[in-house]
């Protein structure tokens, strides 16, 4: 076979940027900004765990019933859409749950089901399937360590628990939800503990991750640092 044909048959490299970090670190916003600039897809992996938590509630499955949750995860009927106004819309079994899965209660259920190894395996291939041309920005806790260990760029975004709780507080008020700042700090700390201490795929920076602390950095500054890092990676630089 000629070198020319061999080159044409070689699998196309689909670049991935993994953005991991704790709840409220701004991963979602940063992931969307970076993806928009590069023209890449986005995987909001936390939404999948939130959806599973919601499905568990809907089907009266306890958040520690690993066998039943594994089945539910394997058959999770979800759709990630964009509505007429260009806003992201998430359907669970055909029903719009875009806002319902963003409550603190949904986050807590997500963190509980996410601690179960068989649930994580059942969702692995579904997450990896988001890697489509031209590329993917994957947002979560274990994107750079487990789901996309060969990601072209790994970012670990963090911020103090207080700063994250305050951001969450403002977001919830803006969306018209009731919220208590003190309760949010407590909740964020409990969720951090559960996410970092679980035995499987705990929240931690990948060895080669660029760690960014956004406590005192605005969104634009964080996005700029991600672009600076991306510009040093040939597979990504061509999209900038
Ligand atoms: O990013 P988020 O707050 O929407 O995530 C909700 C929960 O899902 C989080 O507390 C832990 C879990 N999660 C996870 O274990 N692994 C991921 N890749 C993403 C989220």
CATH of the domain at 209: 3.40.50.300
Task: Let me know if residue 174 belongs to a domain.
Answer: yes
In-domain check, residue 232: no
Q: Are 139 and 42 in contact (CB under 8 A)?
A: yes
Asked whether residue 208 carries a pLDDT value surpassing 70, the answer given is yes
DSSP string for 204-227:
---TTPEEEE-TT--HHHHHHHHH
Token couple for 134: 């031209």
pTM of the complete model: 0.91
How remote is the CA of residue 2 from the centroid of ligand 1, in Å? 47
Question: Which region holds residue 21: left if phi is over 0, alpha if psi is between -120 and 50, else beta?
Answer: left
| Residue 194 alpha carbon, nearest atom of ligand 1 | 10
pLDDT digits (tens, 9 = 90+) for 74-125: 999 999 998 888 888 999 999 999 999 988 899 999 999 999 999 999 999 9
Residue 8 lies in a domain: no
Distance between CA atoms of 123 and 70, rounded to whole angstroms?
9
Domain of residue 201: give its range. 15-227
In the block, tokens 């660029």 appear at 210
Q: How confident is the model at residue 161 (pLDDT cuts 50, 70, 90)?
A: very high
53 in ligand 1 pocket by Cβ < 6 Å?
A: no
User: To test the ligand 1 pocket, which listed residue (18, 23, 46) has its Cβ within 8 A of the most ligand atoms?
Assistant: 46
Whether 234 is covered by a domain: the verdict is: no
Q: Which residues contact 144 (CB under 8 A, 6 or more apart)?
A: 18, 20, 151, 154, 155, 156, 205, 206, 208, 209
Domains in the chain: how many in total? 1
Q: Which ranges of the chain would DSSP assign to H, the alpha helix?
A: 3-9, 27-38, 45-58, 66-74, 104-113, 117-128, 161-174, 181-197, 219-230, 234-237
């Amino acid at each position: 076979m000629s070198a020319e044909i061999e080159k044409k048959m070689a699998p196309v490299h689909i670049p991935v940027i993994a953005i991991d970090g704790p709840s409220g670190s701004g991963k979602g916003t940063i992931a969307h900004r970076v993806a928009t600039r590069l023209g890449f897809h986005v995987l909001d992996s936390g939404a999948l765990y939130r959806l599973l938590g919601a499905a568990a509630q809907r089907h009266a499955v306890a958040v520690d019933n690993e066998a039943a949750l594994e089945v539910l995860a394997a058959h999770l009927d979800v759709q990630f859409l964009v509505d007429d106004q260009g806003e992201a819309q998430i359907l669970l079994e055909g029903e719009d749950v875009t806002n319902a899965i963003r409550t603190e209660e949904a986050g807590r259920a997500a963190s509980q089901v996410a601690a179960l190894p068989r649930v994580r395996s059942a969702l692995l291939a579904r997450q990896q399937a988001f890697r489509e041309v031209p590329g993917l920005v994957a947002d979560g806790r274990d994107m750079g360590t487990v789901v996309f260990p060969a990601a072209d760029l790994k970012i670990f975004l963090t911020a103090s628990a207080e700063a994250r709780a305050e951001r969450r507080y403002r977001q919830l008020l803006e969306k018209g939800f009731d919220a208590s700042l003190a309760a949010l700090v407590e909740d964020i700390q409990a969720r951090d503990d559960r996410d970092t201490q679980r035995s499987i795929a705990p929240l931690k920076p990948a060895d080669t991750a660029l760690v960014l602390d956004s406590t005192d950095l605005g969104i634009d500054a964080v996005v700029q640092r991600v672009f600076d890092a991306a510009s040093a990676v040939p597979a990504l630089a061509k999209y900038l």
